[in-house]
Structure 1
C-alpha cells in the first residue's frame, strides 16, 4: 500500500539582504548652486530659443553652447516641480557636451574648466536636494521618496557617469516599494559607468532576483563576485539564491557549502543546503522512473540518491542538535524524513525484488526516525497538533504499530 504523507514544504533560502544600508551623504560642493538672475522663466526661454536659432543657422561656437547650458541651468531652477526639470537637464548636458568638445578642439582648457564647473554646480544642487529629503528627521511619505528619487534622476541627467546619484535614486525608489524603478536606475548606471562599483552590482543582481529575473541575477552576481577583492558572503548568498531560482541546484550546493563552512552556526544556510541535497537526491530517484532519460543503472541512481539524502539528513540533524525545542527546525526535519520516505515509495514499482527489500528498509528507517520528533511536537504544541497526529498515524500504520495508529487517529478525527 502506498501511503500519501501530509507534506510540509522544506525551507528555501529567503533572507533579504540589508539592501542600501545607511544613507549616502554628499559633502557640500565648494561651488555655490547657480543662482537665478533677474530674467523670468519666460525671458530665459526666449533667450534659449534665440540661441537655438543661431545654432540651427550653423554659426554655433563653444561659447554659444556654453551660454545655452548656463541659461538652461537658470531655467531649470525656475521650474518648481523636480520632474519638470528632467528634460531641461538632458538638453543642458547635450549643450555642455558640445561646448566641451569645441573647447577641446580649440585647445582652450579654460573653456573646458568652466564647463566642468557649471556641470558640477548644477549636479551638486540637484543631488543635494535629494539628500536633504532622505536625511529629513520626519517620517518620509511616498511623495517625499518620489521627489527625492526625481532629484537624483535629474542629477544623473546632468552628470550621467556619477555613480552616487544612481545609487541614491535606486535607494529612494526601493524604500518607496518601487523595485522596478530602482532596478531601472541601476541598469542605467551600468550602461553609463564603465566599471560599476561592486556594491551596486550586488544591488542590481538582488533587484533582478526580486523582480523574477534569475538568469540576469546570476550573470550580475557572478560579475559582482569577481569585482569584490575578497569573498563576500552577501554576494555568495545572493548568487546561491539566484542559482536556486534558476534550478541550477548543483552550483547552489557548492556555494551553500562555502556559506556553511564560513558560518557553521547559521541555521538558514544549513537548512537550505539540506533542501538542495534533498532536491538533487529526489531528482536521481525521478530519473529512475524515467529510464529512457538516464544513462545510469538503477543501482547507481539509488546509491547517488542515498548519498544526497544522507547529506541532507546530516545537515538537518546537526542543526537541530543545538536548538532544542525549535518548532521550525523540528518541522523541517520530520518533513524531510517523510518526504524522503514518500519519494522512495514512488520508485518501488520500477526496481527489482532485491532492490525493493533494500528500499523498504530505508523507508522504515526514515519513518521510524520521524516518530520521536512528532511525539515531541504533539506534546509541546497541542494547539497545532492535528497534522502532527495525522502524520504519526500514517507512520505508525506503515510500521505495523496498530495500537499507536488507532490512538493517533482518535486525536485528529
Structure 2
C-alpha cells in the first residue's frame, strides 16, 4: 500500500470514527423500557433527537415514559411529567406523525386523561371533606394537562374548587369549559350563573341564567337561580314577571307564592316612594294614579302572602312574611301622611292603622310560637304604641 492510499484510508477511518463517537450508543430502547430503566431510555432518546429531531416515534416513546414516571409519583407531583408528555405528543404531531402514529397519540392521551379524571371521581367519601376535594382538584388538574379540551374535567374541577371556597377559580374553570364546548349545555350556563351569584355579582349571574334559555316552567332550579339573580340585583319587576308565570303553573307551591308576594311588595314600596315624590312636587294627577296603583299592587302582594301561609300554616317563615309585610307597609303609609295633600291625609292614615292592626295580629301569632324571641316582642310593643296613639288622637 503506497502512502497516498494509506493517507486516504486513514482519513476515512477518522471520519467514520467522528460520526460514530457523536452518534447513538446503539442501546436497545425497547429493552431499556421493558426493564423500567427509564432514565437511560430518556438519555438515549434525547441523544437520538439531538441528532435528528424529525422522529415522531421517539417523541411518542418519550411521552409514554414520562407518563409512566408520573404514575409512579404522588398526584401532586405529576404535573411536570404530564406536561412533558403533552409537549412530546405535540412535537410528534408537528414533525408530521403518520396516521398510525396520530391514532396512537390520541389513544394514549385519552387513556392517561381518563385515568386521572376517573381518579378524581373516585376519591373516597370517607375522607375529610377538605382533603377529598383537594385530592380530586389535583387529579382533574392533571387530567386537563393531558386533554385541555376536556369539558367534563373542567366541570368537575369547578365543583372541587367551589367546595374548597375557590369561587374565582371555579368560575375560571367553567368559563374555560365554555370556550371548548361546541354546544354549551343549559347546565353549564346555570352553574356559571350560580357561581356568579355566590360571588355577589347578580348582573353577571342573570346573564348566564338567561343564556341557559330553557323552559323555566320545566326547570324550577334554573328558574329560582335566575329569580334570585334578579332579586339580588334589585330587579323586582323581572323577578315578579317570572314568578307570575311559575305561580300560574304551580299554584300549590307555597314557597313560590311567598317569594312572589314579597317581590310584589317591593314593587309596591317603589310605587309609594314615587307617590311621596309626587306629593312633594304637588302633582295631583300623578298622585291619584300612583295611589290607585299602590293599592292594587299591595293587595295582590297580600293575597299571595296569605295564600302561601294557607298552604303551609306550620311554616313560621310565611307567618313572619305577613307580619313584616303589614308592618313595613304601615310605616310607608304613615310616612306619606307627612307630605300628602290635606284631602288625602285621613284616608292614608286610616290605611296605615288598618295595616298596623294586621301586623299586631301576626306578630302576636309569632310570639305564641316563639315567646322568647325578643325581636318579635320589640316589634309588637312599637306597633301597640302606635295603635294607642291613634286611639288617643281619635278620642281627642
- TM-score (ref. length: structure 2): 0.79
The answer on whether the counterparts of 1:48 and 1:72 sit within 8 Å (CA) in structure 2 is no
Structure 2: distance between partners of 1:140 and 1:182 = 20
Counterpart-to-counterpart distance in 2, 1:61 and 1:355: 92
How far apart, CA to CA, are the structure 2 residues paired with 1:170 and 1:190?
12
1:149 equivalent among 112, 137, 160: 137
Paired residues in the alignment total: 357
* CA displacement 1:51-110 (0-9 Å, x = unmatched): 7756xx8x4354344344333323322432x2332244344334424434654xx7x422
Alignment of 1:262 onto 2:253: no
Which residue number in structure 2 is paired with residue 247 of structure 1? 234
**Aligned equivalent of 2:187:** 199
Matches within 5 A, 1:296-311: 297-311=286-300
State which of 115, 124, 132 in structure 2 corresponds to 1:125: 115
- Shift in Å at residue 162 of structure 1? 2.0
Q: How many Å separate the matches in 2 of 1:294 and 1:217?
A: 41
Name 1:76's counterpart in structure 2.
70
How far apart in 2 are the matches of 1:100 and 1:187? 28
Q: Distance in 1 between matches of 2:216 and 2:308?
A: 31
Counterparts of 2:277 and 2:50 in 1: how far apart (Å)? 74
- Name 2:305's counterpart in structure 1: 316
SS in 1 for 2:76: helix
2:340 aligned with 1:338:
no
Of residues 86-95 and 216-225 in structure 1, the stretch that sits farther from structure 2 once superposed is 86-95
**How far apart are the structure 1 equivalents of 2:210 and 2:174?**
16
Q: State the partner residue of 2:388.
A: 397
CA shift at 1:338, angstroms? 1.2
Assess, with a 3 A threshold, how the Cα gap between structure 1 residues 195 and 38 changes in structure 2: closer, same or farther.
farther
Consecutive unaligned residues of structure 1, counting only runs of 5 or more, are: 1-35, 403-413
Could you tell me how far 1:341 is from its partner in structure 2?
1.0
Task: Give the Å deviation of 1:272.
Answer: 1.6
Whole-angstrom CA distance in 1 between matches of 2:378 and 2:47: 79
Shift of 1:243: 1.0
Q: Kindly report the root-mean-square deviation, in angstroms, between the aligned alpha carbons of the 2 structures.
A: 3.1
Q: Output the CA distance in 2 between the equivalents of 1:266 and 1:230.
A: 13
C-alpha spacing 1:375/1:129, structure 2 compared with 1 (3 Å): closer
Match of 1:275 in 2: 262
User: Cα offset for 1:317?
Assistant: 1.2
Instruction: Select between 327-336 and 82-91 the one with higher mean Cα deviation.
Output: 82-91
Aligned 8 A contact 2:255 2:308 in 1:
no
C-alpha deviation, 1:342, in angstroms: 0.5
Q: Which moved more, 1:251-260 or 1:91-100?
A: 91-100
Measured in 2, the distance between the counterparts of 1:229 and 1:326 equals 26
TM-aligned CA distance change 1:142 to 1:322, over 3 Å = closer
Match of 1:10 in 2: none
Q: Distance in 1 between matches of 2:49 and 2:141?
A: 25
Q: Secondary structure at the residue paired with 2:338? A: helix
Within 2, Cα distance between the matches of 1:114 and 1:170? 30
1:368: how far off? 2.4
Task: Give me the TM-score of the superposition, normalised by structure 1.
Answer: 0.76
The 1:62/1:234 distance shift into structure 2, 3 A limit, reads: same
1:93/1:157 contact within 8 Å kept: yes
Q: 1:127 to 1:51 in 2, by over 3 A?
A: farther
Describe the SS at the equivalent of 1:60.
Answer: coil
Q: 1:206 to 1:137 in 2, by over 3 A?
A: closer
- Spell out the pairing of 1:4-403 with structure 2 (5 A cutoff): 38-39=35-36, 42-43=39-40, 46=43, 59-80=53-74, 82-100=75-93, 103=96, 108-133=98-123, 136=124, 138-226=126-214, 231-291=218-278, 297-384=286-373, 386-400=377-391
